[in-house]
Amino acid sequence: MTEMDLYSLVISDMSISEHKRTELTHGYPYNDKAYIADFFGRVIIFAINRKFEKRNNKTLTTSGMLSPIVSDVIFDGALPKQCINISADEISKFLSFTNCFPI
């Protein structure tokens, strides 16, 4: 990632206050590698110290900030739960179906 990409990311993030964006990007564009490293460091430290807030898709959908179609596409870190309602008959049908396709 270049400093231009990181700058664009910081500037376009509307969850960061205008004051903080100005503070993080002060002096941009940078001509010296030391200033670029300082910029990356400031943004990384800001990101590490930032409070994580879990998104509530229902609230965002009802408020109009998130499309209902998109909320089904956005994945979170949770793994899908196991389906415990499979009968033995469904398993045998599945196995007989998969036997139709030799590998």
Write out pLDDT tens, residues 52-102.
766 665 665 555 555 555 555 555 566 666 666 777 787 777 777 766 666
pLDDT of residue 24: 92
59 within a domain of the structure (yes/no) = yes
CA-to-CA distance for 29 and 10, rounded, in angstroms?
A: 14
pLDDT tens digit sequence for 7-36: 998 988 888 889 999 999 998 888 899 999
- At 44, the pLDDT band (50, 70, 90 cuts) reads very high
For residues 3 and 36, the answer to whether their CB atoms sit within 8 Å is yes
Structural domain harbouring 52: 1-73
The reply to whether 66 falls in a domain is yes
Token pair in block for residue 14: 């509307």
Per-residue pLDDT at 45: 92
Total domain count, the chain? 1
Please state whether the predicted TM-score (pTM) of the whole model is above 0.75. Answer: no
2 within domain boundaries: yes
**What are 102's two structure tokens?**
């030799």
* Cβ(35)–Cβ(21) below 8 Å: no
Residue 100 lies inside a defined structural domain of this protein: no
Any domain includes 92: no
In a domain, 30, yes or no: yes
Closest CA to 3 of 29, 21, 42: 29
